[in-house]
A and B are shown apart, each in its own frame.
Chain A
Amino acid sequence: MGKIISVHSFRGGTGKSNLTANLAVRVACLGRRVGIIDTDIQSPGIHVLFGLKEQQTNRSLNDYLWGRCPIEETAHNVSEFVRHEARTPIEIPELFLIPSSLKIADIARILQQGYEVSLLNDGFRALIKELNLDYLFIDTHPGVNEETLLSIAISDQLLVVLRPDHQDFQGTAVTVELARKLDVPKMYLLVNKVPAGTDIQGLQQQVESIYRVPMLAAFPLNMEMLRVASSGIFCLRYPDHPFTEELNRVAGQLTA
């Protein structure tokens, strides 16, 4: 059964896209067929991590939403990029990326005209079927809107990303409550950009007590991630980094 994993955060800058890309790669490295769809139409970004440039993306999610093509035609196979980025040879079945359009005119148009949100649900189902996916990761736009609520509503697993930052705490509480009302089967919190030396156990106790949601991981703030600066996939460049070890653990939990 193809499972949908939505990755969401209430505010921007939590590292959601980086986590989505890296987790998807780790799941693919576990031998699963994986798709990633960038539904952040207003500010697409995850394609950068996979080295996808505007001239390479002949079709995007926008084209599907405007009825120009079936959604599977917007899928870009990034498996070769991933194999090339890896420091040691890796075997992955297939990894697909469905980007949102990078063209400013397309972004402006869709913001102005909107789109039929229900098409997204049809699209997700078609992707899983046509590409024979085991997992479809949805990289959502930050905040709460119709598209993010739909992604949450149809998810099998919801990952809510936050920083240990007071501005994120309040919004995460709203997201978690809404997700509960939508009966998401599994929901987890990922705390990202945790400063070195933070009492992780204390953080986990607080987070789980207040949100009543398991905290799956606390990812460390680190200079190496800052230096990679979204130019590639961190876990492939730093396979032995503690951050990558956490990713591996989370990927194992998601696919258990």
Chain B
Amino acid sequence: MSDSISAGMPGKIHIHLLDSSTGQSIQSWRFEDRLLIRIGRSEENQIVITDPSVSRFHAELQYQGGHWQVVNFGKNGILIGGKSVPQTRIEDHMTFRLGSSGPLFRFGWREVKFEEMNTISGVSFVPSPAIKIDEAQKDLQVKEIAESEYFQKLQRVSQQLRSQTNKTETS
């Protein structure tokens, strides 16, 4: 891992962890004038991700020569646009994934509000499933259980049991 220093200061950047299904930001980090940001499972990183597909020290965001680049140090690699890259320049709003099925991040220097990141692109609208209950079968199952000696005893004492529990703190 490297700690190289570059000319100039990078200003503010925002890293968002995205929900893979919806693209919504579920967690975000903000850094200011930081030249090196480490991502991994270890708590020594600036961004700690407890995901089994993430290495202890998986990736670095390095600011060098006036731009940012993402560098891979992880076993499962970094994917951008579905392709594994060992190291590449990273631009505003670019996304990268740690491992083929790992967490997805968006990098940027403009803070995007939660509502702006809410996208349904790629998610088709699913009508709720039609719920159908076989009432006759339900009644039969309920009757079988409700007529048992144990259930009938419970019915008789349930009120008493609840009031006993509620009085416990005063006993």
Give the interface of A toward B (CB within 8 A).
Answer: 1-4, 121, 124-126, 128-129, 132, 144, 146, 149-150, 153-156, 164-166, 169-170, 173-174, 177-178, 181-183, 185, 195-200, 202-203, 206-207, 210, 220-224, 227-229, 231-232, 237-242
Closest Cβ of chain B: how far from A162's Cβ, in Å?
A: 10
Contact of B131 among A169, A222, A239 (CB under 8 A): A169
User: Do the beta carbons of A242 and B19 come within 8 Å of each other?
Assistant: yes
Query: Which residues from A are CB-within-8-Å of B137?
Result: 170
Q: A153 is contacted by which of B138, B141, B161 (Cβ under 8 Å)?
A: B161
B4: min CB distance to chain A, Å: 29
Query: Would A166 and B129 count as touching, CB distance under 8 A?
Result: yes
Contact of B151 (CB < 8 Å), options: A128, A149, A166, A224 = A149
How many A-B residue pairs lie within 8 Å, measured between CB atoms? 145
B residues sitting closer than 8 Å to A (CB atoms) are 19-22, 24-28, 50-53, 102-103, 120, 123-134, 137-138, 141-142, 145-146, 150-151, 154-155, 157-159, 161-162, 164-166, 168-169, 171
A191 CB to closest chain B CB (Å) equals 9
Given contacts A170-B134, A210-B131, contact A196 B123 (CB under 8 A): yes
Give min CB distance, B162 to chain A, whole Å: 6
Contacts of B133 in A (CB 8 A): 169-170, 173, 210
Q: Which residues of A contact B19 (CB under 8 A)?
A: 222-224, 241-242
B146 closest partner in A (C-beta): A181
Residues of A contacting B155 in the complex (Cβ-Cβ under 8 angstroms) = 153, 181-183
What is the minimal beta-carbon distance from A90 to any residue of chain B, in angstroms?
Answer: 16
Q: B26 to nearest A CB, angstroms? A: 4
CB-based contact B21/A220 at 8 Å: yes
Chain A residues with CB under 8 A of B130: 206
A2 in contact with B168 (CB, 8 Å)? yes
Across the interface, do A227 and B146 meet the contact criterion of CB distance under 8 Å? Answer: no
Cβ-defined contact, B21 with A128, below 8 A:
no
